[in-house]
Each structure stands twice: as structure tokens, then as C-alpha cells.
Amino acid sequence: METVAVVRCLSYDAEEVAAAVRRVFSLCGMTAEQIPSPLLLKPNMLSARPPEDGVTTHPALLEAVRAAAPSSRMLIGDSPANAERPIEQYWDACGYRSAAGRMGASLVKFDSALVIEVSAGSETLSVPVTRLLKETAVLNLPKLKTHGLTGLTCSVKNLYGLIPGYHKSMLHGRFVTPDDFSRFLAAYYRAIQPRVFFSLVDAVTVMEGNGPSSGTLRHLGYIVGGRNCLAVDIVCCKLFGIPRRSVPHLNFLMEEEGPPEIAIVGDGVSGGRPARLPQGFSVRTLSHLAPLRPLLRLVGTLFVIEPEVNRRRCTKCQACVQVCPRDAISRQIAINRKRCIRCLCCFEVCPNRAIRVRKSFLARTLT
Ligand code: SF4
Ligand code: SF4
């Protein structure tokens, strides 16, 4: 039985978050002494944006973990998709540098790697992850958001950031369709799972619609935690109003392992309204349902979902150029449609909302 604690937390007030995090650990039967040392805190540091933008894990959660485990040696690290931008800018914008100072924690870069074997389908891949995992347990600190490629980003998806720099983009280039990428993500999670000590989800303010970076903020008012990332994400789907069956990587994990038996403790899960999914997400998922394939092949040229640059917003910062796994964006920010695999990494990293998802009439109609 997997225990998942769901605790009300209505704001990012430091004392309220600290009390909620202490309660999550306690409900999961965890004492301060059981929290490992050293411990890598892995927030979602997708973009160099301030906490109030709701794109990244709020630093109050990191400080609350420190308060719950005062004697653990703590490191804070994540590897954003855009490895060209100095990571110090992320630490400053996200509030992690000042939090680390107050916590006595070290900010770390993922600049050396060890290789893990990931069995995805018929092939086994060697995937680099931060070398810190050799001796350090991970406390996963995801931000609950919708995601244009995977439907949801929470505990399982947040662990993808343990892969350093552009290797993440290269994997997007290798696993082109949402289903293929989600299948890889499920396999990667199985390989990395033993190194993850706990997952503590920032579900106080969440992002719906065009997540993970351009969506709409929604106040949910929870902190959720547990040892099993799949179980935690299933509970978060309920809280957020996303049918778990529509999140392909959770689906693949459940197909292989069966749904985990979950004991929800704490304040319980009351059904809220359904979350708004990212533009085009349902269509891209549908496009991989076998019965629709012949039809969609026929109308394939009419069925288009692709990134488009808004030149008025674009500052030519080059973040999208650097992250594109197919070198499909020129330095003048023109997208080569023939090279583009529609992974939407560019949409994810753009700090200015200058990339939107364009849908053809058919795609809009089927959404
Ligand atoms: S589209 Fe966005 S990420 Fe790309 S150069 Fe313009 S502002 Fe930067
Ligand atoms: S242009 Fe954007 S969507 Fe297309 S391959 Fe590059 S990063 Fe992916």
C-alpha cells in the first residue's frame, strides 16, 4: 500500500508551508532522523522566472524541507532545458539563491554525469544523469502543471531534469511522438526510481491550460507528498481534475505495473472542476490512438499543430535556438518546418511567450 499525504496549504506564507510540509512527512510516518543526508532537493526550475509566475517550484517548499530536517546536508539543483543561459540567472530569478543562503544549502550544477541503463521497448539506452546521484538521495519537488507534450508535469516528469543539459533535447529528438516520449519517460522513471527518496508536490498555485510555462494560474491550495511518484501523481490528477488515463506516461507505468494501491491520508481529495488541458494536447494524444490512424493519415496534411513565432514579443534571446533538438530554428528565429518534429521544447523555454501553438482548422475542430 502506498501512502500519499494530501495537506491543505492556502498560501506560500513561510510558517504555513513549513507546518504543511511537517504534517506531510508525519502522515507518511517520517521523522527528521529518517530524512537522508546528503539530500538533493530537485525543484522544477524550468525557466528563469520569479516564483509568482507559477512556472517553478516555490522556494518556500525548499525552506520548509530544511525546517523539517535541520541536520541534513542539503544540495539544491536542477538542469533547465536551455543550458546556454547561465544557471546563476535561474537561481536568482527563481529565488533559490536567497533560499539556499537562509537554509545553509549548496546550489549545485549538473556538470558531470553517470550513466544509467534505460530499457525502453526493445532497446536499452545509456542515459546520463547527474553524478550527484551516486551518493545523494533525491527529494523530488515538482510543481503541478499541465504540459503540452505529456499532459501533466508532476513527480515522474520532474525527474527528467536530472538529465544534464541538452541531452534532454536530444532525447526529445529521438522520441518524437508524445506516445514514444511518454513510453521513454515511464522507462526512465523505473530506472531512476530507487534513487528517489520522496516526492513533495507544490500544488498551492498550479498552472493549467498552456503549461508548463504559458498557462493560467489556478489556486488549488495543497501540498502533496509520498514515497511513490506514480501514486503521488495519480492523487494529483484527482486533485487537479485531469483524468489519469489521459496522461500517457502514467498510463504506461500502470499498464506494466498495475495501478498502485493507494492510501490517501490527511485532508482528503475533494473533486474540483476539471483542469483545462494544453491547446492541442487532446488531439495529439488522439492522433496516436490506433483506430484513428488511417483516418488521420488521410487528412494528415490538414491536421497540423506546430510552433509559431510572435515577432512582436520575440527578443531574439536565442533560448529556443539552443534548445531545439533538430536545429530547426535559425538565429533570426525562423522555423524550418521540414526539420521541426513538433516537440514544443521551444514553446517550453521561451521566456517571453513569443512562441504559440498554431493549430489548423481540423486540429481546432477536434480539440
Ligand atoms: S522566440 Fe522566445 S525563446 Fe526564441 S528567441 Fe524569441 S524570445 Fe527567445
Ligand atoms: S522548432 Fe520547436 S517544436 Fe520544432 S523541433 Fe525545434 S524545438 Fe521542437
Domain residues for 287? Answer: 281-366
* CATH number of the domain where residue 175 is located: 3.40.50
The whole-number pLDDT of residue 83 equals 62
The confidence score (pLDDT) of residue 258 equals 87
Please indicate, yes or no, if residue 168 is contained in any of the structural domains: yes
Domain C-terminal end among 203, 233, 266:
266
Ligand 2 binding site (Cβ under 6 Å of any ligand atom):
307, 324, 326, 328-329, 335, 340-346
Asked if residue 108 lies in contact with residue 132, where contact means CB atoms within 8 angstroms, the answer is yes
Nearest atom in ligand 2 to 343's CA: 8
Are 334 and 286 in the same domain? Answer: yes
187 located within any domain:
yes
Q: Could you give the number of structural domains in the chain?
A: 2
Using CA positions, which residue lies closest to atom 7 of ligand 2? 324
| 272 located within any domain | no
Do 88 and 229 sit in the same domain of this protein?
Answer: yes
Nearest to 67 by CA among 28, 15, 142, 26: 15
Q: How far is the CA of 51 from the centre of ligand 1 (A)?
A: 21
Predicted-assembly ipTM surpassing the 0.90 threshold:
yes
154 shares a domain with 285 = no
Give dist(CA 240, CA 229) in Å, integer. 16
Same domain, 227 and 314: no
Q: Which residue has a Cα nearest atom 5 of ligand 2?
A: 340
Q: Rounded to an integer, what distance in angstroms lies between the CA atom of residue 99 and that of residue 66?
A: 10
213 with 316, same domain? no
State the average pLDDT for the chain.
Answer: 88
Q: What is the pLDDT of residues 314-359, one digit of tens each?
A: 999 999 898 887 789 999 999 999 888 766 678 778 888 898 878 7
Q: Whose CA is nearest to atom 6 of ligand 2?
A: 324
pLDDT at 366: 47
What residue ranges line ligand 1, CB within 6 angstroms?
309, 314-320, 333, 350, 352, 354-355
Same domain, 245 and 285: no
* Ligand 2: nearest atom to the Cα of 355: 2
Q: Are the C-beta atoms of 89 and 47 separated by less than 8 Å? A: no
Q: Which of 213, 232, 266 is the last residue of a domain?
A: 266
Same-domain check for residues 220 and 340: no
Residue 345 CA to ligand 1 center (angstroms) comes to 11
CA gap 192, 173 in Å, rounded: 21
Rounded Cα distance between 112 and 122, Å, is 28
> Which residue ranges of the chain lie beneath pLDDT 50?
283, 287, 366-367
